[in-house]
Amino acid sequence: MKVNFNRAALTEALSLVTTVVPSRTPKEILKCLRISAQEKEVHVFATDYEVGIKYLVSEVQVEEPGEVVVPA
C-alpha cells in the first residue's frame, strides 16, 4: 500500500476514529486502526466491539491499494 494524504484530512480522520479505541482491552487488536486504500479513497476504521467508526478520506492519492492495521 502506498498513499499520499492531505495532512489536515488525515489528522481529522485519526482524531475522530481514535475516540472509540479502548485504552484497556484483553484483545490487543482493538487498540489498532485498520486503514484500507482503494483507487481514489481511504477508509480508516476502529471499533471497541460496541461502537465502530468508519471514516472516508477522499483527499488522497493512492499509488498502490492495500490494507494495514496500525496501533492507535
58's grid cell: 477522499
- Domain CATH for 66: 3.10.150.10
What percent of the chain has pLDDT above 70?
100
Question: Is pTM beyond 0.75 here?
Answer: yes
Phi-psi region of 40 (alpha: psi -120 to 50; beta: other; left: phi over 0): alpha
pLDDT at 13 over 90: yes
**pLDDT of the residue at 58:** 85
Burial class (CB in 10 A: 0-12, 13-18, 19+), 46: buried
Q: What's the number of domains the chain is made of?
A: 1
pLDDT digits (tens, 9 = 90+) for 56-71: 998 899 999 999 999 9
Q: Which domain holds residue 7?
A: 2-71
pLDDT at 48 over 90: yes
